[in-house]
A = this chain, B = another copy of it.
Amino acid sequence: MNKFAMFGKLTAHSGKREELVSLMLEASRSLNDMEGCELYIINESVDDPDVIWVTELWHDAQAHADSLKNEQVLSVIQQAKPLIAGVEPIRIRPVGGKGLGV
């Protein structure tokens, strides 16, 4: 099991979450053709109106690293930066379960 996963917490500047969600959805579309990307789900926090959580699952760490060299992804990151007040990943190691696709 070499899968690579994280829960990515993005805190938007106050009032900017909706705009950031739109950008992240755009980013996720550019990942649709990327085989190594297995999950990239954009979620809004229920309890914090400024927070987005991204459920990320990659075939392996290399697939994730490669995605960060993708031009479309880099372009979205540049556009998103001014909207983001903070980034805080929860680093996790998938072990098994339903939907892991092993």
Asked, given contacts A7-B7, A90-B53, whether A95 binds B21 with beta carbons under 8 Å apart, the answer is yes
CB–CB B90/A40 < 8 A: no
Q: A31-B98, A41-B99 are in contact. List 16 more A-B contacts (CB 8 A).
A: A7-B7, A7-B55, A37-B98, A39-B39, A40-B97, A41-B96, A41-B97, A41-B98, A42-B94, A44-B92, A44-B93, A45-B90, A45-B91, A45-B92, A54-B97, A55-B55
Count this chain's copies in the assembly: 2
**Which residue of chain B is the closest to A32 with respect to CB atoms?**
B98
> What bracket does the count of chain A residues touching chain B fall in?
20 to 34
Chain B residues with CB under 8 Å of A93's CB are 43-46
